[in-house]
A and B are shown apart, each in its own frame.
Chain A
């Protein structure tokens, strides 16, 4: 039981490039989330999903897109990377009151 896994761990992008952050969970949870964590700040919700085929925006969705074709996978897409998207990205899934977090992806946009 691996829990929530994220790839890659680190990535450097140039302005205007695109990439997909991968997130997979093996706990059969319906609810999944993407957060970003900026230095000295708490986590902000980017997008969430309540099940396969259903996604919705969180607090800071601009510049990102998501899809949820299966229960296990919830990828986050950055289409045109900007320096403001430099952050650490966490994926999470939920059962009951508890959210389970992946180890994070540290993204730098230069």
Chain B
């Protein structure tokens, strides 16, 4: 079956540091890939997505590239801010199913200090 593996957290960085959160996946077919962000006390919000190999998703300074050869979708940001502190989830949607089920990684807690 499908699975998503994220790097272990939590991750603690100083403001303006470079961020990488690793994500690898196992899937049959050609999944769509997503990063969701969950701020404290809130639901998940879509941060970025990529629907086919070599696509780059980007939003709010975050980027991730769909790498089929390494089955990866690592999240990066060049300079983090305190406001980026949140939980980040990598997820995939199996395009072979009709109901758009999302398979999530376990989440990575990011804390950014001033």
- A43 within 8 Å of B by Cβ? yes
Q: Which of B36, B41, B43, B102 has the most CB of A within 10 A?
A: B43
Q: Is the CB of B43 within 8 A of A101?
A: yes
In angstroms, Cα B25 to Cα A42, docked, is 14
In angstroms, Cα B103 to Cα A40, docked, is 15
- A82 within 8 Å of B by Cβ? no
Per-residue CB contact flags for chain B residues 25-47 toward chain A (1 = under 8 Å, else 0) read 00000001010100001111110
Task: Say which size band chain B's interface belongs to.
Answer: 20 to 34
A-B contact count (CB 8 A): 57
Q: Which residue of A lies closest to B106 (CB)?
A: A42
Task: Say which size band chain A's interface belongs to.
Answer: 20 to 34
Q: Is the CB of A48 within 8 A of B99?
A: yes
Q: Is the CB of B43 within 8 A of A102?
A: yes
- B101 within 8 Å of A by Cβ? yes
Q: Is the CB of B104 within 8 A of A42?
A: yes
Q: Is the CB of B100 within 8 A of A103?
A: no
Q: Is the CB of A42 within 8 A of B105?
A: yes
- Asked, given contacts A90-B44, A103-B42, whether A41 binds B106 with beta carbons under 8 Å apart, the answer is yes
- A99 within 8 Å of B by Cβ? yes
Q: Which residues of B does A touch, CB under 8 Å?
A: 4, 32, 34, 36, 41-46, 49, 51, 89, 91, 93, 98-107
Q: List 5 A-B contacts (CB under 8 A).
A: A42-B91, A42-B103, A42-B106, A97-B49, A104-B43
